[in-house]
Structure 1
Amino acid sequence: METKRKIEVFSAGCPLCTDTIDMVKDNSCSSCDVEVVNMMKSEGANQAKKYGVKTVPAVVIDGKLANCCGGNGPNLSILKKAGLGKPLENGIQ
């Protein structure tokens, strides 16, 4: 059984959020499980609190908030360093 890398994109539906979702999906690998979390719903807001998400868009990779999405939008280089596009090797991050 293949272990999947879990990637959560926190979004409020803004244009920058949509760009981030597209970037993550376009650069994810076949063993990446990408989930878009809607911050407009209470479940999404509660999930965001768990990770310390303060602004959107935000990306969590394998339970760790990536420092990727400051004022100028998402940074692909930072996302890749955090594991985006890289399969887990034998379940190891």
Structure 2
Amino acid sequence: MPKYSVTYPTRPNGVYSQFVTATDPADAVRAAAELDWPTTPGYTVAFDCKPEVWILLRPYRLRSRHIQGPIYAASPADEAGHTTH
């Protein structure tokens, strides 16, 4: 199954991403929503906003691509090798 990056904005500011393995973008959003989103005290994940979704393909910097939603953060291809769930 492919790996995806799902990013939501946080309140009062910022973004947070989760890396998941899923069958399609909708499954990736569902899987990410079920995870524990460890945020900094005083910040909350804005689940009422549309998520940014990238499909992560190796080599990450060359083949990963944005497939859904607005773009909130820098390319997750730069981070994809660091944290996966």
**TM-score for the superposition, normalised by structure 1:** 0.30
Identify, as 1 or 2, the structure richer in strand.
2
Identify, as 1 or 2, the structure richer in helix.
1
